[in-house]
């Protein structure tokens, strides 16, 4: 086993240079647990800037990319461009991409496959809506999202972190209970074991995302199948350091 704890901060469409400087200074001050991989998801226009100021113990991620290297896709960026500015990670399939921008499972999976082929590491997000949870469809939905990913990438999971983010918990202040999160993470691991391989199921890191704060991170981190967090709102605040260190 030995899955390294991994905490991502998703800044979404927030921050200007002043705020970014503050966030980065806070990360520099830390101290950040050296046993945790830390990644910040930065708006595309600031990727190059952040690369010049971020400390070595923090990785940078884009928040989206397209599924081909170049061409007539106005407004998009490609994995090749992300790599070209020295960034090694991308967040794909975030629920805001799926709900606001209409990205379907197949498109997300194609993007993940192309990003991996281009040498990026990927935080791939999945999760159910409130309506889906309340009608007992949580597993059906997350398994469907996983199945699309597996159709596109097969057993190539070395460079993927999976983020389970129940949509009803994102930006709402409602966190899944540790038991709710653990149950889904465990089910995801079982599904991967049955449909990909035991070794992928054991090795893949599964983050929980949805209103994680310094106040709830420790209890969530203590769950067996929770290997880190994807953090939105709180990643803009000084408490992000406490969240990174929640597994200590």
Judged by CB under 6 A, which stretch of 113-121, 128-136, 179-187, 205-213 contacts ligand PEP?
A: 205-213
Residue 186 catalytic?
A: no
Q: Which residues contact 72 (CB under 8 A, 6 or more apart)?
A: none
Q: Does 218 appear as a known binding residue?
A: no
Helix H or strand E segment including 192: helix 178-195
> Binding of ligand PEP at residue 210 (CB under 6 A)?
yes
E strands, 18-68, are 36-41, 58-62
Q: Whose Cβ is closer to ligand PEP: residue 175's or residue 201's?
A: 175
> Which residue number, 26 or 193, has a Cβ lying nearer to ligand PEP?
26
Decide if 94 is catalytic: yes
Among 43, 93, 166, 209, binds ligand PEP (CB under 6 A): 209
Residue of 103, 110, 165, 225 that binds ligand PEP (CB under 6 A): 165
**Which residues are registered as beta bridge partners of 40?**
9, 60
Residue 121 sits at φ, ψ, to 5 deg, of -95, 150
Q: Which of 132, 165, 185, 239 is catalytic?
A: 165
Tokens of 177: 């209970």
State how far the Cα of 241 lies from the Cα of 30, in Å rounded to an integer.
6
List residues with catalytic annotation: 94, 165
Residues engaged in binding ligand PEP (CB under 6 A):
10, 12, 165, 170-171, 209-212, 230-234
């Amino acid at each position: 086993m030995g899955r390294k704890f991994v905490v991502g901060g998703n800044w979404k469409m927030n921050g200007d240079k002043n705020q970014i400087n503050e966030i980065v200074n806070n990360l520099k001050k830390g101290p950040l647990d050296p046993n945790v991989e830390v990644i910040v998801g930065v708006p595309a226009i600031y990727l190059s800037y952040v690369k010049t100021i971020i400390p070595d113990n923090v990785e940078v991620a884009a928040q989206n990319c397209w599924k081909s290297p170049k061409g007539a896709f106005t407004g998009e960026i490609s994995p090749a461009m992300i790599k070209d500015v020295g960034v090694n990670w991308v967040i794909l399939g975030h629920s805001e991409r799926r709900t606001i921008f209409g990205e379907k499972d197949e498109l997300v999976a194609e993007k993940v496959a192309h990003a991996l082929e281009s040498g990026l590491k990927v935080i791939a997000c999945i999760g159910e809506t409130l309506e889906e949870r309340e009608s007992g469809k949580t597993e059906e939905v997350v398994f469907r999202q996983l199945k699309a990913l597996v159709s596109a990438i097969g057993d190539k999971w070395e460079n993927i972190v999976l983020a389970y983010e129940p949509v009803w918990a994102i930006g709402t202040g409602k966190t899944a209970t540790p038991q709710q999160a653990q149950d889904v993470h465990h089910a995801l691991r079982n599904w991967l074991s049955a449909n990909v391989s035991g070794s992928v199921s054991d090795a893949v890191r599964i983050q929980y995302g949805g209103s994680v704060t310094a106040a709830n991170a420790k209890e969530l981190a203590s769950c067996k199948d929770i290997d880190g967090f994807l953090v939105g709102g709180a990643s803009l605040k000084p408490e992000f350091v406490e969240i990174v260190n929640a597994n200590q």
